[in-house]
Amino acid sequence: MEHFNAASAQALEQTLLSCLRSPRWSRRVAEHRPYPDLASLLAAADEAAYDLTWPDLTEALAAESLPALPPDTYSAAHTALSAAHAAYEARFGHVFVICLADVAPAETLDRLLEAIRSRLTNDPEEERMVVADELRRLARERLVDALRGAGL
């Protein structure tokens, strides 16, 4: 926390934008420094994410990439996942996002396919809520990783 609280505005902005590509979210989190502990920082990051509008989330989504598959994934799985991603993007107009922080590498492909197929049945408004929550979770995990790496 010491590095986070003492980081220059520029270094902090870079780090926060690498967690979630939303300038509004980044500013909100940075404005509340100093944080007494990790729990306070994560609570502020969650609160800032909950306050994002759909245009803010769309901006963040534009910087997201498809979830990575384990390197030993067979080609049929890549084909199935590519088709599912294409269907998702055609339906919702943006990349599929999911936080897989607590998923074992061996379960990644199954979890991805299950989630994308399930979420394809959502109506657009319901999917917006799921996307917002997944982006919040991704930002939270990336922030914890950044603090572990003391990249500030």
Per-residue tokens: 85: 């991603």
Rounded Cα distance between 39 and 36, Å, is 8
pLDDT of residue 67: 77
CA distance to 52, 95, 96, 98, per residue, from 63 (Å): 16, 9, 12, 14
* DSSP run (H or E) holding 31: helix 23-31
3-state SS string for 48-113: HHHCCCHHHHHHHHHCCCCCCCCCCCCHHHHHHHHHHHHHHHHHHCCCCCCCCCCCCHHHHHHHHH
pLDDT of residue 139: 97
CB within 8 A of 94, min separation 6: which ones? Answer: 58, 61, 62, 131
Number of Cβ within 10 Å of residue 132's Cβ equals 19
Local confidence pLDDT in tens for the 152 residues of the chain: 899 999 999 999 999 999 999 999 999 999 999 999 999 999 999 999 999 999 999 999 999 988 776 666 667 777 888 899 999 999 999 999 999 999 988 888 889 999 999 999 999 999 999 999 999 999 999 999 999 986 55
Domain map (residue ranges) of the chain: 2-59+140-149, 66-127
